[in-house]
């Protein structure tokens, strides 16, 4: 039965809201397929505003892969701003997709990609607007399967009550496998209803269905165990790893936004995974092993993407793009190919020890020379050993001096505050480093227009990292240290004006810490915050620490906010995500945590012998790096 567009009802409301164009749809390369010809229908959501969610690579890739399949339909939806939410409630308009403005509640699967935990309240808004019961236990056969993915889904326990299922790891192959399970179940006449469909998904071992697992607790509040509550459900659920990225050259037809978005460029992921071993970095741990795209595939993706989109900037993305084994050839090949056109190339935050001026000059050959960004993360040499960020201050000074000598005037440095074992002097050392950067730039160039921007975020311990056992630093200490750093720079007459300082208060990090390492009991807090008006918690203008604090006090019993955040865990404690397998050996993670305390560094296993993190044997994978020996041939510019 056809599902009609909600746009005739929505359109009259749009003049009364801010940025109405974000709800209109019809972007270049968007897809609207016939509803009746599809057997399986997906609604894909990034739980934030259109301007943040539209450029998201994960959603765009799955959107294209699903729509390429015959009999499968995928559309996108994003969080609506509070002004439109109020009007939708007033006029009875449900959560809609931007592609064909169909009601989200009519789809088979409602897939939500979480890159941050602070999007959880936005998920509840979307569920409620869609007419989907918040709690999975209350849903019937008529409701979509609510499925979570993305990095935050590696611990979905805080939102387990709201999810039917979660998927860990790469999505390209598993979304198609899930689609076939649903198609088969529907073709058979939906035997056993929703419960049977979820059982088929869970039995495969590749989809986590929270309702099929029971959690029991010890008297002191810790978890006693997590166990399947029915036969045929695996004790552990493993992540998915796509091993041949060249077979998945997506997006081929990138979506071109109608409204302004946070990134307006065509992005190509040049490799996936990272083995640098930064102990704070969840992304680097959960995406192992390293798998490179070949130089020829990257070249063809850039060519196709530019032709299909009209973008004028190409971003070469990964967790550490300059570490690609053929990055020099990639940069030169693309710079040669697009020289004289309006196409510019960009590389995200670059590791100090992977940067070289030849590479930087290739990327700025198109005429755009933006500031350079480096991420030392720790202010002092000692802190960088703790977090395994093997960059010395002398390395940084040599690198920025070279950059300043070659025409750059602006450098941005990224740090974290509140790291394990951190002391006040470790944060104040950031000021010393920034001063050295300015001094080096002035000496190298003889100029006074040298700038350095220091950007600082609060550290949040994450699951599946060596710091998953660490006590999080309380927000009062983080704020005090940042104020001291700010005062130190402000008093500096010689260098202070050349150094910009941007930092986030410690309070949002504490709530992110609650959500990232929480268990199922935290779901009551999330729901209470949402019922109290919590929306867009990743946005400073909407975030309310007092609201989260108050709701945590009321909703939690036997444990509290501090118990989830500033408490250190011991080795034997059952962690909420222990039954979810990222491939990392738990004993290796614990040893790496001990190495952090001892300030012992670990090498990158891409270039050194394996150090037994466990991923390759557990997941039956291997590191895939070049060089391939191939070159990019220049194209004839038309």
Residue 598 pLDDT greater than 90, yes or no: yes
Name the β-bridge partners of 75.
43
Instruction: Report d(CA 555, CA 545) in Å as an integer.
Output: 15
Q: Choose among 141, 148, 154: nearest CA to 126.
A: 148
Instruction: Report d(CA 328, CA 358) in Å as an integer.
Output: 8
Instruction: Report d(CA 358, CA 539) in Å as an integer.
Output: 38
Name the β-bridge partners of 272.
291
How confident is the prediction for the chain on average, in pLDDT?
94
Instruction: Give the helix/strand (H/E) hosting 477.
Output: helix 475-491
What pLDDT sits at residue 529?
A: 98
Instruction: Report d(CA 427, CA 416) in Å as an integer.
Output: 9
What pLDDT sits at residue 638?
A: 41
Name the β-bridge partners of 143.
none
| Segment 384-414, tens digit of pLDDT | 999 999 888 998 999 889 888 888 889 999 9
Residue 45 pLDDT greater than 80, yes or no: yes
Mean pLDDT for 67-95 is 98
Residue 636 pLDDT greater than 80, yes or no: no
| Segment 177-213, tens digit of pLDDT | 999 999 999 999 999 999 999 999 999 889 999 999 9
What pLDDT sits at residue 501?
A: 96
What pLDDT sits at residue 101?
A: 98
Residue 631 pLDDT greater than 80, yes or no: yes
| Segment 494-510, tens digit of pLDDT | 999 999 999 989 999 99
| Segment 6-19, tens digit of pLDDT | 999 999 999 999 99
* Helix residue ranges, H only, 141-281: 172-187, 193-203
Residue 358 pLDDT greater than 90, yes or no: no
User: Can you tell me whether residue 146 is helix, strand or coil?
Assistant: strand
Residue 66 pLDDT greater than 70, yes or no: yes
Mean pLDDT for 550-565 is 98
What pTM was estimated for this model as a whole? 0.96
Residue 104 pLDDT greater than 70, yes or no: yes
| Segment 239-286, tens digit of pLDDT | 999 999 999 999 999 999 999 999 889 999 999 999 999 999 999 999
Instruction: Report d(CA 572, CA 220) in Å as an integer.
Output: 14
Mean pLDDT for 332-337 is 92
Q: How many CA atoms lie within 13 A of 211 on its CB side?
A: 20
């Amino acid at each position: 039965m056809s599902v009609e567009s909600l746009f005739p009802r929505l359109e009259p409301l749009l003049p009364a809201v801010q940025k109405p164009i974000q709800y209109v749809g019809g972007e270049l390369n968007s897809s609207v397929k016939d509803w009746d010809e599809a057997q399986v229908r997906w609604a894909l959501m990034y739980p934030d505003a259109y301007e943040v969610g539209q450029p998201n690579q994960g959603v765009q890739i799955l959107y294209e892969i699903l729509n390429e399949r015959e009999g499968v339909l995928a559309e996108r939806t994003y969080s609506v701003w509070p002004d439109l939410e109020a009007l939708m409630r007033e006029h009875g308009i449900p959560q809609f997709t931007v592609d064909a403005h169909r009601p989200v509640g009519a789809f088979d699967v409602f897939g939500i990609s979480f890159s941050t935990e602070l999007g959880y309240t936005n998920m509840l808004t979307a569920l409620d607007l869609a007419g989907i019961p918040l709690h999975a236990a209350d849903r019937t056969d008529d409701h979509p399967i609510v499925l979570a993915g993305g990095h935050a889904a590696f611990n979905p326990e805080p939102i387990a009550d709201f999810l039917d299922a979660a998927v860990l790891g790469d999505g390209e192959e598993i979304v198609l496998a899930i689609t076939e399970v649903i198609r088969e179940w529907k073709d058979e006449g939906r035997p056993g209803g929703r419960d049977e469909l979820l059982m088929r998904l869970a039995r495969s071992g590749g989809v986590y269905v929270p309702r099929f697992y029971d959690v029991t607790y010890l008297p002191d509040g810790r978890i006693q165990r997590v166990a399947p509550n029915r036969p045929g459900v695996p004790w552990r659920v493993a992540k998915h790893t796509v091993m041949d990225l060249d077979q998945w050259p997506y997006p081929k037809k990138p979506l071109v936004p109608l409204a302004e978005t946070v990134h307006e460029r065509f992005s190509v992921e040049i490799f996936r995974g990272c083995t640098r071993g930064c102990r704070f970095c969840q992304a680097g741990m959960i995406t192992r092993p390293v798998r490179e795209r070949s130089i020829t595939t990257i070249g063809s993706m850039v060519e196709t993407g530019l032709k299909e989109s009209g973008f004028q900037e190409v971003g070469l993305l990964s967790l550490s793009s300059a570490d690609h084994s053929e990055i020099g050839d990639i940069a030169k090949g693309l710079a040669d190919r697009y020289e004289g056109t309006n196409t510019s190339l960009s590389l995200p935050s670059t590791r100090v020890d992977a940067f070289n001026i030849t590479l930087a000059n290739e990327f700025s050959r198109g005429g755009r020379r933006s500031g350079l960004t480096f991420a030392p993360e720790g202010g002092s040499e000692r802190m960088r050993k703790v977090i395994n960020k093997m960059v010395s201050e002398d390395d940084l000074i040599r690198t920025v001096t070279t950059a300043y000598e070659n025409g750059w005037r602006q450098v941005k440095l990224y740090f974290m505050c509140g790291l394990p074992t951190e002391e006040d002097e470790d944060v104040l050392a950031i000021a010393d480093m920034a001063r050295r950067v300015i001094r080096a730039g002035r000496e190298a160039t003889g100029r006074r227009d040298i700038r350095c921007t220091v950007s600082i975020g609060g550290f949040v311990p994450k699951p599946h990292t060596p710091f998953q056992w660490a006590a999080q630093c309380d927000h009062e200490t983080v704020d005090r240290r940042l104020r001291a750093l700010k005062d130190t720079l402000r008093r500096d007459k010689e260098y202070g004006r050349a150094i910009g300082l941007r930092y986030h208060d410690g309070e949002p990090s504490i709530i992110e810490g609650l959500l990232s390492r929480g268990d199922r009991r935290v779901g009551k807090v999330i729901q209470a915050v949402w019922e109290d008006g919590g929306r867009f918690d990743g946005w400073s203008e909407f975030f309310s620490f007092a609201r989260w604090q108050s709701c945590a006090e009321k909703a939690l019993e036997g444990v509290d906010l501090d118990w989830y955040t500033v408490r250190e865990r011991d080795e034997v404690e059952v962690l909420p995500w222990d039954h979810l397998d990222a491939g990392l050996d738990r004993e290796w993670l614990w040893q790496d945590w001990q190495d952090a305390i001892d300030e012992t560094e670990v090498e990158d296993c891409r270039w050194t012998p394996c150090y037994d993190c466990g991923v390759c044997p557990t997941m039956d994978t291997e590191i895939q790096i070049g060089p391939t020996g191939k070159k990019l041939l220049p194209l004839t510019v038309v």
